[in-house]
Each structure stands twice: as structure tokens, then as C-alpha cells.
Amino acid sequence: MANDDTASAIRITIMQKMREIAAQQGKVLGELNDDLPLVDSGLDSLCIAILVASLDDQLDLDPFSGSNAVIPVTIGDFVRMYELAGV
């Protein structure tokens, strides 16, 4: 179904970016599953900041802007924010 395909494309992009940024910043990434809290992922706040900016450029999505911005706790929360914004 079209929506699922779009969602998973965003998910794939996010995961790929996370790995890329972790490598660039010399961070060791944990197992990336949806329940993993971001604070335990191996990515520090700078990495997340870079990730958010890169995704804004690449996907033209900025789910953090606006009054509805939610604070994501887990990787799953983070991905869902973007999937919702990308619909």
C-alpha cells in the first residue's frame, strides 16, 4: 500500500543517516530498534541536532517546528514523527 511504502522509505533514510552521522562523529551505535531510547542509542545531542538538520534538507521535513512538536524518547518515536510529517 502506498502509505506504508512511503513510511518505510522515510524510516530507511533515517536509519541510514543515523549510521552515517555516528560514523562521522566516531560514535558506536547500539542496536537500532524502535524501543531503544535515543539517549541510549550512542548518538549525543550534537548528533541528533545534525540528524534533524540533515533530514530537513534531505526530506524537506521539520516536525520539530510548530506548536505541535513532541519530544521523541525512543527511536520509534523519532521515526514516527517524521512518518507522520511526511504523509
Q: Which stretches of the chain bind another protein, using CB under 8 A?
A: 24-25, 45-46, 48-50, 52-54, 57, 64-65, 69
Closer by beta carbon to another protein, 3 or else 25? 25
Assess contact for 35 and 76: CB atoms under 8 A: yes
8 or 23, CB closer to another protein? Answer: 23
| Least distance in angstroms from the C-beta of 10 to another protein | 18
Those residues whose C-beta lies under 8 Å from the C-beta of residue 68, and which sit 6 or more positions away, are none
Cβ proximity to another protein: between 8 and 65 the closer is: 65
* SS3 (DSSP) at 77: helix
Question: Any idea which residue has 534531505 for its cell?
Answer: 58
